Structure formats: C-alpha cells, structure tokens
Amino acid sequence: MAEIEEKKVTYPLKVVYCSECTMPLEYCEYSGKKCATRSTQEVTESVDGIIITDNDVQEETKHQTRGGRGTKGKVAFEEPQTITLQRASRGKNKYTTIVKNLSTHKVDLKVAAKFFSSKFACGSSVTGPDEIVIQGDVTDELFDVIPAKWPHITDDDIEDLGDGKK
C-alpha cells in the first residue's frame, strides 16, 4: 500500500481574506471582475491551488447594500410639463380624478396626495411615478387649490382633459 502524505494542520487556521470583497480567497472566483484581478495581483505567490477565473462579461456594477434601499439613478433635468387633470369613471355615479405631471414642478407627490385627501375629505394615493389618484370628482376645485398651495404653479400650467378611461 502506498503511503499518503497528509499536511499537518495547525489550529486555529489562518484565513487570508480578499481586500475587495472581504470574503475568503476561495470565494473570489464567484465575485466580480474587479475582485478577481485584485486578488490575483495580491496573493499569487502565497496561496497554492486557487484558480481565479474571469467569467463576467461586463464590469461589476454597484450593488445594493444589505438592508437599505438601492440608490436611484441620476435624473436628468426635466422641463415642467402641463399638469393634466382627468376624470375617470369608477362605477355608476362614482368618479376618480387623476392628476399627472405634478412632480415636474418639483412637488412631492406623497405630500400632495396627503394634502388632497385632507382638503377634499376623500382618499388619494400616489399610483405611478408621476400620478396621483383622488377619489371623487374634484377637477373644478383643483384649479383653485393647486395654485393656492404651490404659488409657482399658475392656472395656465393646469389642463383639464375631461372624461377618460381608467
């Protein structure tokens, strides 16, 4: 029988960590391109048997940190568009009012929805990236309320589209 040589292991083990991804070097092959190139430069002579390959096609992008929201991309400056008011039917005699393009005038939609719900004693919510839905037909009142609350918005900036489908 052939004798098998075993390396003598001393405990505690000394683990070498990657400075880029903070994982042990054995896991660097699963990380991005930046980690793979960095770890090969640092420890090629000190670690035997680890092959770090580059399987990624594109550069590593910023990852979301654990537990937090991802950063939103930079938004290009948008020219203020006309605010459109539209009435949509909910049933027999019930309507909802849809307000669009309010955020292009630098108005926080969440604050505006809360203001509309308290002003008109109805429900209102932000339903899209630039859309607020108000329960009830309040299109006529919005022509007075919006310029009063936000003075930088004039009556000419508001347009009524009439009845529409939801």
Where residue 148 sits, what CATH number does that domain have? 3.30.780.10
Between CA 94 and CA 146 the distance in angstroms is 23
Segment 92-102, tens digit of pLDDT: 889 999 999 88
47 with 104, same domain: the answer is: no
* Percent of the chain clearing pLDDT 90 (strictly above): 19
88 with 160, same domain: the answer is: yes
Say which residue, 162 or 60, is predicted with more confidence: 162
Segment 105-122, tens digit of pLDDT: 888 999 999 999 999 999
> What is the arithmetic mean of pLDDT over 20-42?
72
Per-residue confidence band for 163, with pLDDT thresholds at 50, 70 and 90: confident
Number of domain units in the chain: 2
121 with 160, same domain: the answer is: yes
Q: Which domain holds residue 29?
A: 11-59
Residue 69 lies in a domain: no
42 with 111, same domain: the answer is: no
Segment 47-74, tens digit of pLDDT: 555 555 555 445 555 655 566 666 666 6
Q: What contacts 24+ positions apart, CB below 8 Å, involve 39-46?
A: 42/18, 43/16, 46/16
97 with 153, same domain: the answer is: yes
